[in-house]
Amino acid sequence: MLKTIFGEDINPQVPTRLLKIAEDIRAAGGRAYLVGGFVRDTLLGNADSRDYDVEVYNISQETLLSVLSKYGRADAVGRAFGVYHLSMKGLSLDFSFPRTESKVGRGHKGFVVETHTDLSFKEAAFRRDFTVNAMGMELPTFELNDPYNGEGDLRNGVLRHVGSAFAEDSLRILRGVQFAARFRLQLADETRDLCRTLSLDDLSKERIYEEFKKWLLKPGLRSLGLKTFLAMDLLRFFPEILPLNDSYELLGEYLDNISEAAVEFPEESRMILAFASLLSGNAEPAESVKFLDKMTNEIKILKGVPLLLEYAPKVKTAISERTLPSDSEIRRLSVALNGLEMFLAFVAANPVLDQDARSDFACNFKLRARELGVFEHAPEPYLTGRYLMSIGQKPGKLFGELIKESFELQLDGKLTCVSDAEAWAYARLAEKS
C-alpha cells in the first residue's frame, strides 16, 4: 500500500512478474525504477495506471539481457539507446538504461543520445521535462526517489521545469499546456519566463497536433491549459486564437463546456468541436484554416471546423431571439454539416448565450430536426438516377439538373416524399419534350 498526495492508501496494479524481475535485477547488483507517468498517476490516486516505464541502474546491458531472458523473449529494440523489449505471455515490458541527450541540431531528431550504466538517478532525471515527471519508485519496494521535489510540486499544484535541459526540446512547451490541463497544475513563474523565450519553429505539424490533441481530448480542465498557453505567450505562434467576446475566460469556459458535451462523440468529431471552440472568438472562418494548416492534413477537420464557425452565428441569433430556424434552413444546415448532432452540441455549449435560452433552443431544435428526419443524418435526394433510367432517360447533363432542382424543392418542403419527386420529374420531362 502507498500513500497518495491526498493522504489516501492506494494499491497500485503492478504485474507480479515485473516485481520478480526487479528482485533479480537487485540480486545482480542493479536497481530498477518505475519512472514518469506511473509515479505521477499513482501519487494522484490512479491505481489502474499501466504506464510501466522501467529504468535500470548499476548493471551492464549484458547482465540485464541475461536476467530478462529467463522470463521471455528479450530484444534490444534500441541497443544504442539502451532499450530492451521483453515479450512474455500476456505481458510486454520495456526496460531502459539512463541516458543523456545533447542538442546538436534542429527538431526532435537533433539530439545525440548516450547511454550510461553508471549515472545516478538524480543525474538521469535531470533530462526530464517537469519535476512531476522526474520521480521514480524503486522496485520491488516502491520507495520514492524524488530528487527535484516533484511530489511537493504535485501536492501544491505546480508545474515546474527540472532544469536547463528543458530548453533543448521545444515540444516541452506544448507538453506543459496539456499537463496543466490534465493534472490541473499552475505554471511556475520561472517556467513561464523560460517558455516565453523559446520557439516552436522547429516542430513538425504532426508533433504540434498530437500535443493539442492531448490538451483538448484527454480528461482534465481545458481552461487551465488555455491559461498556461496564454501565460507562455504562445499567441506568438497562433495569433488566430482570439478572446470570445473580448474574454479569454469565456473562451476557456467554452472549451470546458464542449469537453462535457462531446464526451460521447467519436474522436475526430471531438477534435472538430474542440478546435472550433478554441477558434470561436475569431469571426473570420478563413483564419481557422490558417490555424489548422499549421498542424494537420486531416480533410474532415480542415472542412468541419470552418463550417461550424460559419453557420454558428446564424443559430446564435435564433437562440437569442428564442426562435427556431425555418424547416428549409434546418434541412440545408443538415446537408452542409452531414447531420446536426455535432453542430447542436457546439452551439449549445457557447457560454456567451443565456443558459436557459440555450437549453430551450437545444430541446426544440433537436425535436424539430428529428421530426424532419435530418438530425442524425443529412437528407438524401428523393429523386434518383435509377428512377430516371427506369423511365427511359439516359445518363447525362439533364440527370444532374433534374436531381439538383428536385433536391432544392425537397429542402424547401415542396416535395415531401419519393412519389412527389418522381411525379415532378415525369412532369418536367414532359414539359421539355
DSSP string, 353-413: S-HHHHHHHHHHHHHHHHHTT-SSSPPPPSS-HHHHHHTTPPSSHHHHHHHHHHHHHHHTT
The C-alpha torsion from 101 through 105 and 108 to 109, rounded to 10°, is -80
Contact between residue 236 and residue 173 where contact means Cβ atoms under 8 Å apart = no
At 341-394, the pLDDT tens digits run 999 999 999 999 888 988 999 999 999 999 999 999 999 999 999 999 998 888
Delimit the domains of the chain by residue range: 2-154, 259-379, 385-432
CB contact burial 328-362 (16+ within 10 A = b; e otherwise): eebbbbbeebebbbbbbbbbbbbbbbeeeebeebb
Which of 14, 101, 2 lies closest to 54, judged by CA?
Answer: 14
Instruction: Identify the segments of the chain with pLDDT beneath 70.
Output: 78-81, 100-116
Write down the pLDDT at residue 68: 95
Cis check for the bond before 306: say yes or no (omega within 30 of 0): no
Write down the pLDDT at residue 383: 94
Write down the pLDDT at residue 161: 98
Q: How far apart are CA 72 and CA 95, in angstroms?
A: 13
CATH homologous superfamily of 2-154: Beta Polymerase, domain 2 (3.30.460.10)
Name 114's bridge partners: 100
Is the whole-model pTM more than 0.85? yes
Q: What does the DSSP 8-state code read for residue 218?
A: S
| E strand spans, 163-321 | 186-187
